[in-house]
Amino acid sequence: MAVVTGNSIISPSLLTNRVTQFGLKSEVSGAKVVPRRAIRSGGKVKGKVRVVVKAAVQIGGLEQVKKAKEELGFDVVSEGELREKGFLGMRKTKLVCTIGPACCSLEDLEKLALGGMNVARLNMCHNTRDWHLDVIKKIKKLNEEKGFCVSIMIDTEGSQIQLLDHGAPSSVKVEEGSIWLFTAQKLESYPPFTVQASYDGFSEGIEVGDVLVIDGGMASFEVIEKAGNDLCCRCTDSGLFLPRAKFSFWRDGKLVARNSELPTLSKKDWADIEFGVSEGVDFIALSFVNDADSVRQLKNYLYMRSSRSTRVLAKIESLESLQKLEEIIEACDGIMVARGDLGVEIPYEQIPTVQEEITRVCRELNKPVIVASQLLESMVEYPTPTRAEVADVSEAVRQYADALMLSGESAIGPYGQKALSVLQMASSRMELWSREENRQSILHQRPLGVSLPDRIAEQICNCAVEMANNLGVDAIFVYTKHGQMATLLSRNRPYPPIFAFTSDNGTRMALNLQWGVIPVLVDLSDDEMEANIAMTMELIRRKGMLKPGDVVMVVSDLASTHINYGAFQSIQVKTVV
Ligand SMILES: Nc1ncnc2c1ncn2[C@@H]1O[C@H](COP(=O)(O)OP(=O)(O)OP(=O)(O)O)[C@@H](O)[C@H]1O
Ligand SMILES: CC(=O)C(=O)O
Ligand SMILES: [K+]
Ligand SMILES: [Mg+2]
C-alpha cells in the first residue's frame, strides 16, 4: 500500500474513477471535502470543490497491474538509469548518433539504444532511401518491442557548392608550389593535379588572387588564372585533399560568401522530406539554412500535410545563417551547431565563441540545441578519445547544450558504442560539477512570453525550478500536451530531472532532445489534473521508482474544466509516504 499526500483540488468521485480506470483498486480515505459554491444536482457534486486528498491506493490483481504498467510509456533506459543512479544521477544532456554502415544492424542499434542514444540521425547525403527505410523500421521495432524511446532524425543533403573530388578513394598529398586545376567538367578519369567541383557555378565571382582553402585549413591555394569556369591555382600551404573535401574562397582575409546562390531545399531534399514524413520521422534537420524563410516554408508544408508533430531543426553551418541567427532560431524547433561545415566558413579559432553564443541564444529563446561534429573524431580510428576531445565535449555540456552528436564515430567507426559511452561519462561528470558549483544560479533568463498566459507559464516554470533547487526535491513532474511547460522548465536547467507526462506521442518524441527531460507517454485526462497526478505517481511508484520520503514537485497547466478554473496552473510539492 502506498499513500500519496498533498494539498489538491479534486472531486473524490473522479479520483476514484480515474484510479479505477487505470486498473487499480482504490480507496480514498480521509478526504476532507469542503464544497465551495458547489452546486448539488441529482445527488452529484458539480462545480468547485476543494479537497485535501489523502489517497490510499491498493494494488489490484496481477492482470490489472500488468495493464497499468502498459499504460505508462516509460522507456527502459531511463528506468534502468533511475534504478541504478537515483533521480539526481540521471543524465541530462541528450545524445544523438549518426547511423551508418558500422551500426545499422538490429543488434548494433539496440546496443546504441541501451548505451543512451536518444535520437538516431540519418544523413540523406549518404546511402539509398531503401537503406534509410530499413534503419527506420529497425528503430521503430526496437521502440515497440523492447521499450526504447529513440527518436528519428533525417538530415537533408542541402545544396553545397563546396565539394571536391580528386578521383582517389583516400587522401591525396598536395605539395607547396604545385599547380592544380579546379574544374566542374565531368571527367571520365582524373589527370594528375586535377580536382572536380560538384557545382558548375563554383567559380562564379571568384577573382585571380583569391585564396582557396580546403577543409578549413587542410591546404591552401592562390587562384593564379581563370579560364572559363575553371580555376588554375598554386598551392601556398601544403597539406591533404580528403575525399569529399570542402572548400571556401577568401579575399582580403574575409570569406567570399556564396551559399545564398543555391536553394536550401533542392528537389532531392523535398523528396527526402516526403519520404521522412511518410515514414513518421520525428525531426527533419535542414542543412545549409541561410535564413528563416526555408524553415517557415518547410513548417508550412508540414502543417498543410498535417504532420505537425514532425519538428524542424535548422543547421547553422554557413556565414549567412550566423548573420540571421535569431530569426532562424525563432522560426525553427531546434538548432544544430554543425561545426564540420561551419569550420570551413569561419576561421576555426572562432568556433568556440560562436558555439557558446548559439547555445546561449537557443536556451534564451527556448529552443533545443545540438552541438555536432568532430566531438570524438579520433575515435573513428582509435578506441580511446584524445584528452582534448573530452575537454571539448565537457565544454559543450558546461555551456548547457541540450544534446551532443556523434558523426563518423558511430556511422563508420568500429568503436561507436565506446564513443557513446565516452559522451555519457563525460556529460554526467560535467553535469555533477555544474551542480556542485551551483552554476545554474548564474543562468540569465530573458523574458520570452508576450501574452499573459504565456508570461504566467514562463514565470511558473522559472519559480518552480528555483523552488525545486532550493528544496532539493528529487524530481519534477510536469503534465503537458505540446511540451511547452516541459521546455520552459528545462530552459532553467534544474538539478532534479523533469518527468514530462504527455498523451501525445509526437510531443514525447520531440522532448527526447530536450535537456533534462524524460518524456513519458500516458493517457491523461483533459479535465482532471489531480487524477492525472495521482495516477502517474502511483504508476511510477508501482514500478519501484518512487520510494517513501521522495519529494516530487508537480507543475501543471492543463485545463481543469471540471472545476471551472479554466487553464489551471499550479506548483505542488508532494512527499511520498
Ligand atoms: N548512411 C550512411 N551510409 C554510408 N556512410 C555514411 C552514412 N552516414 C554517414 N556516413 C559516413 O560517415 C561520415 C560522417 O557522417 P556525417 O553525416 O556526420 O558527415 P558529413 O557527411 O560530413 O555530414 P554533412 O554532409 O551533413 O555535413 C560521412 O563522411 C560518411 O562517410
Ligand atoms: C553535421 C554537419 O552537417 C556538419 O557539421 O557540417
Ligand atoms: K546532411
Ligand atoms: Mg554539414
Q: What is the 3-state secondary structure (H, E, C) of 40-81?
A: EECCEEECCEEEEEEEEEECCCHHHHHHHHHHCECCHHHHHH
Q: Which of 282, 246, 250, 288 is nearest to 266 (CA)?
A: 288
Which ligand number lies closest to the CA of residue 342? 2
Residue nearest to atom 16 of ligand 1 (CA): 407
Rounded CA-CA distance 23/10 in Å is 20
For ligand 1, whether the C-beta of 129 sits within 6 Å is no
Distance in Å, CA 482 to ligand 4 centroid: 29
CA-287 nearest atom, ligand 1: 26
Which ligand number lies closest to the CA of residue 98? 1
DSSP codes of every residue in 447-489: ----SHHHHHHHHHHHHHHHHHHHHT-SEEEEE-SSSHHHHHH
Mutation choice for ligand 2 from 269, 287, 288, 335, CB with most ligand atoms inside 8 A: 287
For ligand 2, whether the C-beta of 372 sits within 6 Å is yes
For ligand 1, whether the C-beta of 519 sits within 6 Å is no
Which ligand number lies closest to the CA of residue 372? 2
Contacts 24+ apart (CB under 8 A), 195-200: 195/164, 195/165, 195/166, 195/241, 196/164, 196/165, 196/166, 196/167, 197/161, 197/162, 197/163, 197/164, 198/160, 198/161, 198/162, 198/163, 198/164, 198/165, 199/159, 199/160, 199/161, 199/163, 199/262, 200/229
Q: Which three cell numbers stand for residue 395?
A: 565544454
pLDDT of 54 reads 28
Which ligand number lies closest to the CA of residue 157? 3
Rounded CA-CA distance 427/396 in Å is 9
Distance in Å, CA 288 to ligand 3 centroid: 9
At residue 417, what are phi and psi to the nearest 5 degrees?
A: -65, -35
Rounded CA-CA distance 76/518 in Å is 11
Rounded CA-CA distance 173/189 in Å is 18
Q: Which three cell numbers stand for residue 407?
A: 558523426
Q: Which of 155, 502, 79, 166 is nearest to 313 (CA)?
A: 155
For ligand 2, whether the C-beta of 124 sits within 6 Å is no
Rounded CA-CA distance 232/459 in Å is 61
Asked whether 441 and 131 are in contact (CB, 8 A), the reply is no
Strand partners, 338: 372
In this structure, is the dihedral angle defined by the CA atoms of residues 223, 226, 227 and 228, taken in order, positive or negative?
A: positive
pLDDT of 441 reads 76
Distance in Å, CA 2 to ligand 4 centroid: 52
Asked whether 568 and 576 are in contact (CB, 8 A), the reply is no
CA-317 nearest atom, ligand 2: 6
Distance in Å, CA 138 to ligand 2 centroid: 25
For ligand 2, whether the C-beta of 162 sits within 6 Å is no
Distance in Å, CA 156 to ligand 3 centroid: 5
Asked whether 298 and 273 are in contact (CB, 8 A), the reply is yes
List residues, by chain if needed, whose CB lies under 5 Å from ion ligand 4.
317, 338, 340-341
CA-135 nearest atom, ligand 1: 1
Mutation choice for ligand 2 from 407, 409, 410, CB with most ligand atoms inside 8 A: 407
CA-405 nearest atom, ligand 2: 1
Judging by beta carbons within 10 Å of its beta carbon (0-12, 13-18, 19+), is residue 190 exposed, middle or buried?
A: middle
Cell numbers 551547431 correspond to 337
Distance in Å, CA 299 to ligand 2 centroid: 21
**Half-sphere exposure for 355 (CA within 13 Å, toward CB):** 29
Residue nearest to atom 2 of ligand 2 (CA): 338
Strand partners, 197: 164
Q: Which three cell numbers stand for residue 335?
A: 538548432
**Half-sphere exposure for 127 (CA within 13 Å, toward CB):** 20
The three-class DSSP label of residue 7 is: strand
The count of other CB atoms within 10 Å of the CB of residue 238 is 14
Distance in Å, CA 239 to ligand 1 centroid: 22
For ligand 2, whether the C-beta of 318 sits within 6 Å is no
Domains of the chain and CATH, by start: 2-70 (no CATH), 94-159+261-440 (3.20.20.60), 164-254 (2.40.33.10), 445-575 (3.40.1380.20)
The three-class DSSP label of residue 220 is: strand
Mutation choice for ligand 1 from 131, 248, 405, 412, CB with most ligand atoms inside 8 A: 412
For ligand 1, whether the C-beta of 268 sits within 6 Å is no
**ipTM attached to this prediction:** 0.98
pLDDT of 258 reads 77
Q: Which of 327, 353, 308 is nearest to 337 (CA)?
A: 353
Mutation choice for ligand 2 from 336, 337, 354, 374, CB with most ligand atoms inside 8 A: 336
Q: Where are the alpha helices (DSSP H) in 475-567?
A: 484-490, 505-511, 529-542
Distance in Å, CA 470 to ligand 1 centroid: 44
Which ligand number lies closest to the CA of residue 155? 3
Give the pairing type, strands 49-58 and 2-8. antiparallel
**Per-residue pLDDT tens listing for the chain (577 residues):** 232 333 333 333 333 333 333 333 333 333 333 332 332 333 333 333 222 222 233 323 334 434 444 568 899 999 999 999 999 999 999 999 999 999 999 999 999 999 999 999 999 999 999 999 999 999 999 999 999 999 999 999 998 776 778 777 888 899 999 999 999 988 888 788 999 888 888 999 999 999 999 988 999 999 999 999 999 999 999 999 888 888 899 999 899 987 777 888 999 999 999 999 999 999 999 999 999 999 999 999 999 988 888 999 999 999 999 999 999 999 999 999 999 999 998 999 999 999 999 999 999 999 999 999 999 999 999 999 999 999 999 999 999 999 999 999 999 999 999 999 999 999 999 999 999 988 887 787 889 989 998 999 999 999 999 999 999 999 999 999 899 999 999 999 999 999 999 999 999 999 999 999 999 999 988 778 888 899 999 989 888 899 999 999 999 876 554 545 556 678 999 999 8
Asked whether 294 and 260 are in contact (CB, 8 A), the reply is no
For ligand 1, whether the C-beta of 341 sits within 6 Å is yes
What is the pTM (predicted TM-score) of this model? 0.87
Asked whether 132 and 262 are in contact (CB, 8 A), the reply is no
For ligand 1, whether the C-beta of 126 sits within 6 Å is yes
Give the pairing type, strands 369-372 and 403-406. parallel
Distance in Å, CA 348 to ligand 4 centroid: 15
For ligand 1, whether the C-beta of 125 sits within 6 Å is yes
Judging by beta carbons within 10 Å of its beta carbon (0-12, 13-18, 19+), is residue 363 exposed, middle or buried?
A: buried
Strand partners, 286: 314
Distance in Å, CA 126 to ligand 1 centroid: 6
CA-155 nearest atom, ligand 2: 3
Strand partners, 40: 45
For ligand 1, whether the C-beta of 163 sits within 6 Å is no
Rounded CA-CA distance 117/277 in Å is 22
Which ligand number lies closest to the CA of residue 158? 3
For ligand 1, whether the C-beta of 411 sits within 6 Å is yes
pLDDT of 566 reads 55
